[in-house]
Amino acid sequence: MSWGQDPEDRERDFDPWNTERGRDVPAQPQPGGADPWGGDASPERLRPLSLGEVLDGTFRLARRHWRAFAIGLGVVVVPLSLLSGFVLAQMFGSTPGLLETLQNPEVAGSFDEQDFEQFTETVVGSGLAGIAGLLLSPLIYGIAVWIAARGYRAGTVEPMDGVRAAGRRYLPLLAAVILVGILPLLIFLLPGFVLATGAAAGVDALLVAGGVGVIVSAVVAIIAVVRLLLTVPAVMLERAGPVQAMRRSNTLVKGRTGFVLGTMLVVYIVVTIVNIVLGLPFQALGAAVGTAVGAVVITAGSIVTSLLSNTLLGAALVLIYFDRRVRAEGYDLSQLADELGDPGDHGW
């Protein structure tokens, strides 16, 4: 295969799920022996990636640009984690605590005035932490995607440029994250209502119809979520609006839904395992120590796992995004440079 090959031929050659061939075609080297993960500061062309290459590239990007990810994401992750840690310290320190009250509501009957004030402060703090997480998570996603995309070019990554880029695209990012999050709920709305009505009225027909509807909706919701996984990259890299980015993501993923689902499922499993391995010691030590010191330990673990998980997920999404554009559009690095930097400035 040559780099001048028709995009449809490249799709067939590199598609790891293609049933028309008995084995995967080995990845072709880039011109000049360039390393697609950053060995060459300016490889001439992006290329389609297999599942294994996406996974390998995710960790290579994370390792090569870990400082940029840590600094850029840390600007948002650290304050957010500290706020959550402060709320956790209140839970440990209140008497009786919020956790105990939630587990046994009868404990609330023993509250005196001071306990009630502490409890109220903890509940308000939890609410504020949740709202802050909702409002700041789009920035985290945007920063991770921008740094991963810029790092894929193998140039110097300035983490604060990623923070500024995500800040400029904050409102579209926020709207896109909310819309993507709401869509699965809307899909379940009608069958869920039918199921609940059937359960309340004791009507077997409605129960059956609602149950079947929920199962079908689950499949549709999974497909919809997978089709919209590239919404944030479209917002950040193509400067698309939220609805336009959702349509763009659907267009790119369509026809490769199974590949994207399988890839991201593997990535999520790996990220979950890594989070458990790294976070469990912090959680166990924090719970054993208790009090405010335990909250500090748990918060430290939360920062570490959040930085790592968002780095890996952002890198994986970016690689899948570029893979889809290469296959569908013959996308190359000059276009990437135009989208991430000033037009004509490709020297990063």
pLDDT digits (tens, 9 = 90+) for 207-244: 889 889 999 999 999 999 999 999 999 999 999 999 99
Q: Which of 171-180, 249-258, 291-300, 327-336 has the highest mean pLDDT?
A: 171-180
What is the per-residue pLDDT for 67? 92
Distance between alpha carbon 250 and the CA centroid of its chain, in Å? 17
**Listed range (51-55, 107-111, 243-247, 290-294) with the worst mean pLDDT:** 107-111
More confident: 278 or 88: 278
Q: For residue 231, which of 249, 252, 243 has the smallest C-alpha distance? A: 249
Question: Looking at residue 108, what DSSP letter applies?
Answer: G
Q: 13-42 in b/e burial notation, b at 16+ Cβ within 10 A?
A: bbbbeeeeeeeeeeeeebeeebebbbeeee
* Banded model confidence at residue 94, pLDDT cuts 50, 70, 90: very low
The mean per-residue pLDDT over the stretch 173-182 comes to 94
CB 36 within 8 A of CB 30: yes
What is the per-residue pLDDT for 200? 85
Residues 6+ apart with CB under 8 A from 288: 294
CB 51 within 8 A of CB 43: no
Residue 108 CB burial class (10 angstroms; 0-12, 13-18, ≥19): middle
What is the per-residue pLDDT for 71? 94
Q: Reply yes or no on whether the pLDDT at 131 is more than 90.
A: no
What is the per-residue pLDDT for 118? 61
What is the per-residue pLDDT for 31? 40
* Banded model confidence at residue 85, pLDDT cuts 50, 70, 90: confident
**Alpha-carbon distances of 109 from 30, 97, 98, 126, 263, rounded to whole Å:** 70, 13, 13, 21, 50
Q: Reply yes or no on whether the pLDDT at 15 is more than 60.
A: no
What is the per-residue pLDDT for 151? 87
- What gap in Å lies between CA 213 and CA 221, rounded to an integer? 12
The mean per-residue pLDDT over the stretch 251-270 comes to 90
pTM: 0.73
- What gap in Å lies between CA 157 and CA 34, rounded to an integer? 19
Helices (H), 228-290: 231-237, 242-253, 257-289
CB 256 within 8 A of CB 162: no
